[in-house]
Amino acid sequence: MTKISEKRPDQIAQGIMIILTSVAAMAFADAVVKLVSSNLTVWQVFAARSLFAVPCLVALGYFRNVQFGAILNQWVLLRSALLVLTWLAFYASLPILKLSVAAVAVYTNPILTALLSALVLGERVSKRQWLGVLVGFSGVAAILRPGTDAFTWMIVLPLIGAAFYSSAMVLTRAKCQDDDAVNLALGLHGSFIITGLVATTVLATLSLDPASVASYPFLLGSWTPMGWSDWGLMAFLGALSAAFFLGVARAYQIAPPQMIGTFDYAYLVSAVIWGFVFFAEKPDGLTLLGMALITVAGLLVAERKPEPATIRETS
């Protein structure tokens, strides 16, 4: 007997709504992290936020009968480490850079992912995608403006973050496709907690001189006392972060990835909006041009692949 396996229909409208809501929430969360960077350390944000995200994810996983042991998988752990480095590089730039500039720099990751996929996974890069790579790097050049007074080496941090993120996405595609999204999010937040606590302990042991700490307190400062409002804010960010990671995973599951990837770029618009609301940031013309070029590059790189033929099972 031969039967045709049924493919679940795409839920495009729902997927678009989820990704738009998710990236707007994450841009808001990143703006809040930039806002508290003058009072807390990045290590406090890592640990305190994830202390609240983990219970949310455990409760969801228990409800869905998720096998939590998978978070100890070596590939899940490596993926988590790469993403911790992503957010460390991105957050470390926020006290210095405008939120919109840091956001557009880290959103070069689709370009890097296309290149890494070709190098590591052997995936074909089409002429259209190579054009997207060139357009994307033109956008980066417009924002960086090397050789001018507007250039700052701090922009390298979110670009490094983009490289780590792309590596994590290639690893996810190659080794973590069958892992539950809850386990992937749990592995990440568990890594945030461990990283935050270990880094805080190391910095306390080193006892850096006050001048060094004062030069960059967000990265080198010691754990500062947190009041109820600070803990409340971290609880809010933890729940928001857990929801964001799950929302993105869900959006890519129920709708075509190329389409969702297009709307993923709404993060850049959200970053500009929150940057203006929180910090009165107004991107100049070249920055807006760079954002537009990188967005176009992402759309070119996200070339839609042909749909696979219907699978037939014979028994």
> pLDDT grade, residue 282 (50/70/90)?
confident
Whole-angstrom distance, CA of residue 61 vs CA of residue 218: 33
pLDDT for the residue 199: 94
**Is 69 a residue whose pLDDT tops 50?**
yes
Average pLDDT score, the chain: 81
Condensed to tens digits (0 to 9), the pLDDT of residues 126-172 reads: 777 778 778 877 877 777 776 555 567 788 899 899 889 888 877 87
Instruction: Return the bridge partners of 2, or none.
Output: 314
Q: Say which DSSP state 208 is in.
A: -
Whole-angstrom distance, CA of residue 285 vs CA of residue 142: 10
> pLDDT grade, residue 284 (50/70/90)?
confident
pLDDT for the residue 313: 36
What is the domain partition of the chain in residue ranges?
12-303
Long-range contacts for 141-148 (Cβ within 8 Å, ≥24 apart)?
141/290, 142/286, 142/287, 142/289, 142/290, 142/293, 143/101, 143/104, 143/105, 143/286, 143/287, 143/290, 143/291, 145/286
Whole-angstrom distance, CA of residue 45 vs CA of residue 98: 19
Q: Are 297 and 135 in contact (CB under 8 A)?
A: yes
Whole-angstrom distance, CA of residue 271 vs CA of residue 139: 17
- With tokens 């099972």, the residue in question is 313
Whole-angstrom distance, CA of residue 180 vs CA of residue 56: 15
**Is 306 a residue whose pLDDT tops 60?**
no
Whole-angstrom distance, CA of residue 260 vs CA of residue 13: 10
Condensed to tens digits (0 to 9), the pLDDT of residues 102-118 reads: 888 887 776 777 777 67
C-alpha distances in Å from residue 284, one per residue of 28, 108, 154, 271, 290: 21, 19, 18, 14, 10
Tokens of 70: 């998978």
C-alpha distances in Å from residue 169, one per residue of 60, 78, 85, 121, 141: 23, 11, 13, 12, 24
Condensed to tens digits (0 to 9), the pLDDT of residues 147-157 reads: 555 567 788 89
